[in-house]
Structure 1
């Protein structure tokens, strides 16, 4: 598929959302649109897989009679294979295309076009087909946010049905081209939609989406020098977009791990993985509070990335002082700001040969107290901090604050210094947000990889200098971006002032004459 065709697909999908826009908030109709796209994907994937199995018999999956003994034999054999390989199963009558056709049928043709009950049953059946299998955890309650009984869809059952049918019929017109092995068009279009919904969701967008430009920077940082990854982990994985972005920077990622606290966003992440053709055995996403209830404590990862909620609150419970993730530091991050708690958690999971990149608010670079203590320990005692990168303000949804990226390695190639990059002035202003261009991203990554000082952009600070600054990492201390103003020509300024005075005197005389002619008193 060409870029033009891809853009048309993205635009078409976004236009379909118009059916729900105005009826409910963006983050609500997001769940319906993305949920139905996912259902269509599962249907088309299953249909192609079943037909590949049936090809030797010259049978089309849709032609199977579900009520006959022979038909059921076929279905049982396909189901056993499909659940093992794909993780789920659908009958021919449960496929998206068939449900859309039933919904579009005219009532005078003799069949009811009411599909809501049928659709609810089918979505439940997808989940039930995985019960007791390896894929159960990846499909359980996956469609729980797709509430077909919501009054927001319409006041009456008929009105709800008409709206859902309209969406299914429109989606059914799209060819997802799943038979093209190298096609990731649907996954990219899905990502596009998630980004569009994020743009319309305001502050809530930060809960599930990291701007693509920032994801690209993090992904390129943790894959520097690597072509394959054994594992990648995101402790605040949102919609899973950051994990998937890492996979675009290497030939292969063997396993994806993530944790997400919000249930709806967790469902979105699982769908996103499957839509990008990540096999259910290759990803392990969990739904829980990462700091309070970590789910992968025994695992160590080759790449760790995250865009955690900025300065979020956490319990900072005394019990965590003996937790292996935090105990070595001697201090817990303050309960009012969990930024360093996330850093400590991530470093605990980082393998010795791994790389880690995390987006944080600028305060982590210079705040004192417990945070200052942890920062000093990371540099002086462990020497794991590899680079500090300042990003522009106003590039995230829902907040305009400037942010930074901290890069960590447990086995550093340059143990005697820390690289500072100030990219805060390198962006393009767009409407309500600033945007990192391709050249801005390239500049950051090239500078990181070359690791050389560049005027007004980067500086390689010896650890001794960091210590002299009392482990304060505020970027302006290390990268001088001061622009010297042009010298003022005082003689020219004096001449301009004299010219202004002469012009003022002429204007005053003209006003005085006008007032005299009118017989009124001139202003003083």
Structure 2
């Protein structure tokens, strides 16, 4: 099913409604954003796994060298989370731990401890996981640019929920775009850094800089 950006935004915004009153609004992002990422990467992994099985056979399905996406360990994939009915918080924590152990380069991307959020009961987490299961988020279903834009819309949504404190982790897009436009054309060998990187909006905007786009497409 093909989604529009508005539909994807609405779908992701509803995640906040599911955990509303269970955790402080300032913590919405800590629990929802990692799950959105995990759902997207799980869908991408499952799609690539099917392609590998079709081309090479089931015996090669666990050959990590054949994958171009991060490996999602057996027993901790999205459908495994959907089967959990008790201690769902622990299951999510374990899935994140096993994922980062299987993909050391991504170590540190999951910081939230779902077991420390007392308001996130099994019922709430089951509803959240099931809601996110409504749509596939792999690249064929949702283009990366659209998912990235929806992700930033979600961050903006959380900032609005927080009020003034949202500015601590979200820079308005027009400020980001201005900062990037003020940078001269990137020459070969130059790098762009954001020493206070949060959601990565500054870096993704820099990647759209015309001089970088020309170099990638040359």
Question: TM-score, normalization: structure 1?
Answer: 0.37
- Consecutive unaligned residues of structure 1, counting only runs of 5 or more, are 60-69, 104-112, 154-159, 254-524
- Consecutive unaligned residues of structure 2, counting only runs of 5 or more, are 214-218
- Residue 232 of structure 1 deviates from its aligned partner by 1.1
- Residue 213 of structure 1 deviates from its aligned partner by 1.2
Question: 1:11 — aligned with what?
Answer: 10
Question: 1:232 — aligned with what?
Answer: 192
- Residue 205 of structure 1 deviates from its aligned partner by 2.1
Alpha-carbon contact 1:227-1:250 (below 8 Å) kept: no
- Residue 207 of structure 1 deviates from its aligned partner by 2.1
SS at match of 1:194: helix
Say which structure is richer in helix.
Answer: 2
Q: Distance in 2 between matches of 1:181 and 1:194?
A: 18
* Residues 48-70 of structure 1: CA deviation (Å, up to 9, x unaligned): 232333331355xxxxxxxxxx5
Alpha-carbon contact 2:23-2:119 (below 8 Å) kept: yes
Question: 2:79 — aligned with what?
Answer: 97
Q: Distance in 1 between matches of 2:142 and 2:92?
A: 29
Change (3 A) 1:130 1:164: same
1:140 has 2:111 as partner: no
Question: 2:133 — aligned with what?
Answer: 172
Question: 1:430 — aligned with what?
Answer: none
Change (3 A) 1:120 1:145: closer
Question: 2:103 — aligned with what?
Answer: 130
SS at match of 2:193: strand
Question: Which structure is higher in RCO with an 8 Å CA cutoff and minimum separation 6?
Answer: 2
* Residues 7-43 of structure 1: CA deviation (Å, up to 9, x unaligned): 1110121022101122222221221111110111221
Q: Distance in 1 between matches of 2:89 and 2:23?
A: 19
Alpha-carbon contact 1:228-1:250 (below 8 Å) kept: no
Higher gyration radius (CA): 1
Question: 2:168 — aligned with what?
Answer: 207
Q: Distance in 2 between matches of 1:121 and 1:130?
A: 14
For 1:16-415, list aligned pairs within 5 A: 16-57=15-56, 59=58, 74-75=61-62, 77=63, 79-82=64-67, 85-86=68-69, 88-100=70-82, 102-103=83-84, 113-114=85-86, 115-131=88-104, 135=105, 139-153=106-120, 160-179=121-140, 183-222=144-183, 230-250=190-210, 252=212
- Residue 183 of structure 1 deviates from its aligned partner by 4.1
Change (3 A) 1:149 1:177: same
Alpha-carbon contact 2:89-2:122 (below 8 Å) kept: yes
Say which structure is richer in strand.
Answer: 1
